[in-house]
Amino acid sequence: MLSLQTAAAPSAANGQGFNRNPVYELFRNYGTLREFPKNTFIFTKGTPPFAGYFIEKGIIKICQVTTEGRDVTFFVRKTGDAFGLAEIILQQNHPCYAQCLQDSQIWVLNASVIREKIAADPDVNREIMVMLTSRLLHHQSTLELLVSKPAPWRLAWLLQQLSVPSADGKRIVDMVLNHEEISNMIGCSRQTVSELLSKWKSKGIVTYNRKHMVLQNLESMIEEI
């Protein structure tokens, strides 16, 4: 039987409270908390990295538009995640788009302050380097599963990554991605995603409405693969 990786994508606040995290403290002390409505682009491809970002509340997709006009989502960033920092360190323009999947509160911090603090504050430097390196390893694992695992496994893995635990032992997914966006992330057709979700719903493995999906039994989902 296949087993899902249980570790979520690394975040700036992974494993510790916001208030004890050097990156969060950096944004809170020197940045500005801004409201971004759903569907707002935080930055666009090819623009200079004027600022870094930390999600106080919300969900962001990092995406690209192909020459055929197709929207391809690479990553999803959630509450507690920082993003846009690699471009600041490398002093390169943004290679992708960042768009809000729901109304979001995001700390915005000038790039010059981030560069200054990385150079001067060992705690900030270490935390950012660990976060970016962990993400690199995570993305390598993601690439491996995209080319080696079947579509049901990839969908189950993505839902697990997007979910948060509830008090009753189930896992909750905010339905901020449509079936087309999900299919783009796991490399299959929209029809395959729809068919798999319908199958799992009919067996009581998942339940969902327009706002939320509940993973009733992750082990049963794995056994179905």
Chain segment 209-218, per-residue pLDDT in tens: 888 899 987 6
Cα–Cα distance measured from residue 195 to residue 7, given in angstroms and rounded to the nearest whole number: 26
User: Within the chain, which residue ranges are assigned CATH 1.10.10.10?
Assistant: 150-224
Tell me the average pLDDT across 104-131.
97
Determine the pLDDT at residue 3: 54
Domain with CATH 2.60.120.10 in the chain: 18-145
The answer, yes or no, to whether residue 139 has pLDDT greater than 90, is: no
Q: What is the pLDDT of residues 28-58, one digit of tens each?
A: 999 999 999 999 999 999 999 999 999 999 9
Q: How far is CA 131 from CA 15, 39, 56, 175, 197, in A?
A: 12, 26, 17, 26, 32
pTM: 0.80
- Tokens at 213, concatenated: 């999906």
206 contacts 216 by C-beta, under 8 angstroms? yes
pLDDT surpasses 60 at 65: yes
Whether 158 contacts 146, CB under 8 Å: no
Is the pLDDT confidence value at 89 over 80?
yes
Fold of 18-145: Jelly Rolls (2.60.120)
- Whether domain 150-224 has CATH 1.10.10.10: the reply is yes
| Contact by Cβ (8 Å): 5, 104 | no
The whole-number average pLDDT for the span 13-24 is 68
Nearest-angstrom CA–CA distance, 182 and 185: 5
Would the pLDDT of 17 be above 80? no
Query: pLDDT (tens digit, 9 = 90+) per residue, 101-111?
Result: 889 999 999 99
